[in-house]
Chain A
């Protein structure tokens, strides 16, 4: 099942500057696994040592945040758009 993955600018140096990638997978977890196969190094930017989504990374399938669905096990279907969105955060302290 091929879906479109939108790559945010901070990660494009790992994808040869591509902003959109076609990737296979039935769940987000599978898509991320395949991304790492094709673009080594991207996986550790998205998930931690235990394989869970990093705190400052958000992933949307179409219009919905996967944290409010089944997380990395969220199923995807043909033609879905997956967006990877690093949080923007900081502060005076």
Chain B
């Protein structure tokens, strides 16, 4: 774990709130960064699979979110999803389907109290965890 990543705490709260709201299904969404690379917005996306163990972002909502990110002059910074019943570490499925190597993958674990939020990069099947700090 060498890379250090900071996320405004308010965005971390938004991610958690969405994942709690759709529990027991897995929740998912995007995090956008401004032109300076600082995360500025959380965009929850419906889980089209409505499953407690799998997610796939609703295509239309994902398309609309990407368009919004482009129009705001933002960039896609991160992709989040929850594991309602297990540890927040990437599953083999997560790794196999990770098509965005330049993004941070945030995983929320809801099986503990308080929940856990961890941050990973996944590049060509290689996973590394980044040290995530929530900042004011």
Q: Which residues of A approach B to under 8 Å, CB–CB?
A: 9-10, 56, 58, 60, 65, 83, 85-93
Extra A-B contacts (6), CB below 8 Å, given A85-B62, A86-B99, A89-B57 = A60-B63, A65-B59, A88-B100, A91-B81, A91-B94, A92-B52
The answer to whether residues A87 and B54 also contact, given A9-B100, A93-B91 and a CB cut-off of 8 A, is no
Q: Are B85 and A92 in contact (CB under 8 A)?
A: yes
Once the chains bind, are A91 and B98 in contact (CB under 8 Å)?
A: no
Residues on A with beta carbons closer than 8 Å to the beta carbon of B93: 89-93
How far is B107's CA from A90's CA once the two chains are assembled, in angstroms?
A: 11
Q: Which residues of B contact A85 (CB under 8 A)?
A: 59, 62-63, 66
B60 touches A87 (CB 8 A): no
Residues of the A chain whose Cβ atoms lie less than 8 Å from the Cβ of B18: none
CB within 8 Å for A56 and B99 given contacts A90-B54, A91-B53, A91-B55: yes
CB distance B57 to A87 under 8 Å? yes
A86 partner residues in chain B, CB cutoff 8 A: 99-100
Distance in angstroms from B18 CB to nearest chain A CB is 15
Q: How many residues of B contact A (CB 8 A)?
A: 35
Chain A to chain B contacts (Cβ below 8 Å), 30 pairs: A9-B102, A10-B100, A56-B97, A58-B59, A58-B62, A65-B59, A86-B99, A87-B56, A87-B59, A87-B97, A88-B28, A88-B30, A88-B57, A88-B99, A89-B55, A89-B56, A89-B57, A90-B81, A90-B93, A90-B98, A91-B49, A91-B51, A91-B54, A91-B81, A92-B52, A92-B84, A92-B86, A92-B93, A93-B53, A93-B93
Contact B91–A90 (Cβ < 8 Å): yes
Interfacial chain A residues near B53, Cβ < 8 Å: 91-93
- Once bound together, how far apart are the Cα atoms of A10 and B123, in whole Å? 10
B28 CB contacts on chain A under 8 angstroms: 88
Q: How many angstroms from the CA of A89 to the CA of B97 in the assembled complex?
A: 6
